[in-house]
Amino acid sequence: MNNSADFWHSVDFLSRQLCVEWQQSKRRETPKDAQCGQSGLFVSQRHDVLKKIEKVILKMTQSISEGDAPVFSYPNKSSWDSVRFENGIGIEPARDQKLSHVRFDSLQSVKKFGLMTRILSIIYNLIQQNKYCTKRDLYYQFPELLGSQTTLDNLVDNVACLLETPRWDLHVLATCKGSVAGDLQFYSDQGHFVDCSVSQTGVPVPAHMKDMQNMTTGARFVLIVEKDATFQRLLGDQFCHKFRPCIMVTGKGFPDLGTRLLLRALWDRFQLPMFILVDADPHGIEIMCVYKFGSKAQAAENRFLVVPNMKWLGILPTDLDGLNIHESVFIPFTKKDMDKASELIGRPYVLANPPIATQARISSLGFKFEHIYPDKLPIETLVKYMSLGHEVLGVVHFVLATTSCVVTNRSL
């Protein structure tokens, strides 16, 4: 398979096409955007973040000195009305954003005000000392006040909005759950060399780009896989060897910031074609859209995280009829699945992309198919249908070996 001239011709054709599009997009960038793109992420200078914190605290003390109750105000990210969408850019904050207000003189928000102030103090000290801590470490500094890890996570997000600073510049890191394998090498902040091609199970994706310095690769494409089970199955089938040189990444479900930062860095630095494989259900489609268009919660940061040129290879809901899969393999929707399907159809990036909208509507019909059910996946049925052999997971062969899909309407 990896010697197929047609396959590599299609991949290289797409790569050249994407490079042209990338160069055109760079010409439209502002100087600030260009600086962000060169590094693969937005890096605020440490002193800039410190000044922002000092400005917030100064404003708070001035309000107190004038006899007024201090207030923290930041964009409200809970509603889709607070964001807008544009193809090629992704989800970004709306021009007329609604604000959330956390007041010191309100019984409903005084505790939150105090917690945000405490977190600002910790972040200030971390940045001054150029140190980092995890969200988990931060939670255990005062767990009795926070009550839950989710409360702390939301507070850190609110502080990032208050400071108008990407979360990765606050020196508070979330544990990254993604893995990467294949032709990729980099150095950690401590100078450790990491070669992703030598691992049998994948290398953990670092939580911050400081630990992915001096990246090098000879890869010609990147495959993103929704689930770790599929990722491990493909590694066991020697996918990265048979389709070398390539890179394979999984976010193990809904992607975290570290995994999305890695993919955006690979795009910014190497303009590699990227293809994604997800389940044929609303949750799979949502995950694909987060990689490609961004999320509502990270509206202010999406332009440093999304890869709008990513291609959705499958499994497309429209593929299922042609695969002759026995009905026993399909899984009935739960209420959660139905709610997700209904909500997904109305999202701005779905409405703006008719091919994706078609797939989303078909995926909402009440049954889902997960491509890595080891005890149920009809590999023989798929292989017979595709006539592609047993050496690699049949579904991946279908979407990668059908070479015309790479540069035509087969990929979305």
pLDDT digits (tens, 9 = 90+) for 239-281: 888 888 899 999 999 999 999 999 999 999 998 889 998 888 8
What would the pLDDT profile of 71-118 be if each residue is shown by its tens digit?
999 988 877 888 889 888 899 988 888 889 999 999 999 999 999 999
pLDDT at 119: 95
Range of weakest confidence among 139-143, 145-149, 193-197, 325-329 = 325-329
Q: Which of 152-166, 172-186, 331-345 has the lowest mean pLDDT?
A: 331-345
| pLDDT at residue 95, rounded to an integer | 84
Listed in sequence order, the DSSP H helices in 294-401 are 335-345, 348-351, 354-363, 379-386, 394-401
Structure tokens at 15: 């790569």
Tell me the C-alpha distance between 278 and 12, whole Å.
Answer: 23
Between 194-198, 204-208, 270-274, 376-380, the lowest mean confidence (pLDDT) is in 376-380
pLDDT value at residue 37: 41
As a whole number of angstroms, the distance between CA 215 and CA 183 comes to 10
Among 140, 187, 349, 373, the one annotated catalytic: 140
Average pLDDT over residues 116-133: 94
The average pLDDT across 311-327 equals: 73
Question: How would DSSP label each residue in 229-255?
Answer: HHHHHHHHTTHHHHT-S-EEEE-SSS-
- Cα–Cα distance measured from residue 99 to residue 286, given in angstroms and rounded to the nearest whole number: 26
Helix axes 257-270, 31-39, angle to 10 degrees: 100
Tell me the two tokens of residue 226.
């929704």
Residues 6+ positions from 81 with CB-CB distance below 8 Å: 94, 98
For residue 17, the one-letter residue type is: Q
From 255, 250, 283, 290, select the one nearest 368 (Cα to Cα).
283
What per-residue confidence (pLDDT) applies to 366? 60
- What's the whole-number average pLDDT of the chain? 80
What's the mean pLDDT in 288-303?
Answer: 91
Q: Which residue has the higher pLDDT, 387 or 13?
A: 13
What would the mean pLDDT of 324-349 be, rounded to a whole number? 79
pLDDT at residue 8 greater than cutoff 80? no
Which of 29-43, 110-124, 147-161, 168-182 shows the lowest per-residue confidence on average (mean pLDDT)?
29-43
Q: How confident is the model at residue 411 (pLDDT cuts 50, 70, 90)?
A: low
Decide if pLDDT at 367 tops 50: yes
Q: 238: which strand partners?
A: none
Q: Could you tell me which residue, 149 or 22, shows the higher pLDDT? A: 149
Q: What pLDDT does 334 receive?
A: 78
> How many alpha carbons fall within 13 Å on the CB side of residue 352?
13
What is d(CA 225, CA 287) in angstroms, rounded to the nearest whole number?
10
Return the percentage of the chain with pLDDT > 70, whole number.
76
What is the 8-class DSSP label of residue 320? Answer: G
Q: Residue 204's pLDDT is what? A: 94
Residue range 374-390: mean pLDDT, rounded: 35
Rounded mean pLDDT, 166-181 = 91
Q: Residue 207's pLDDT is what?
A: 87
Name which of 174, 209, 113, 204 is nearest 298 in CA terms: 174
Provide, rounded to the nearest whole percent, the portion of the chain with pLDDT above 90.
44
Interval 275-292 mean pLDDT:
90
Mean pLDDT of the 118-126 span: 95
**Is pLDDT above 70 for 20?**
no
Beta bridge partner(s), residue 331? 368
Predicted TM-score (pTM) of the model is 0.80
Mean pLDDT across 118-130: 94
Nearest to 318 by CA among 264, 355, 271, 276: 355
pLDDT at 42: 37
Residue 326, pLDDT > 70, answer no
**Burial of 275: CB neighbours in 10 Å, binned 0-12, 13-18, 19+:** buried
Q: Give the Cα-Cα-Cα angle 325, 328, 333 (nearest 5 degrees).
A: 100
**Residue 3, pLDDT above cutoff 50:** no
Tell me the mean pLDDT in the region 167-192: 91
Instruction: State the average pLDDT over residues 343-362.
Output: 90
Look at residue 379 and tell me whether its pLDDT is greater than 60: no
- Examine residue 345 and say whether the peptide bond preceding it is cis (omega within 30 degrees of 0): no
Q: Which pLDDT score, from 0 to 100, does residue 324 have?
A: 64
Residue type, 120: L
- Whether 139 is catalytic: no
In eight-state DSSP terms, residue 3 is: T
| pLDDT for 325 | 63
pLDDT band (50, 70, 90) for residue 47: confident
**Is the pLDDT confidence value at 317 over 90?**
no
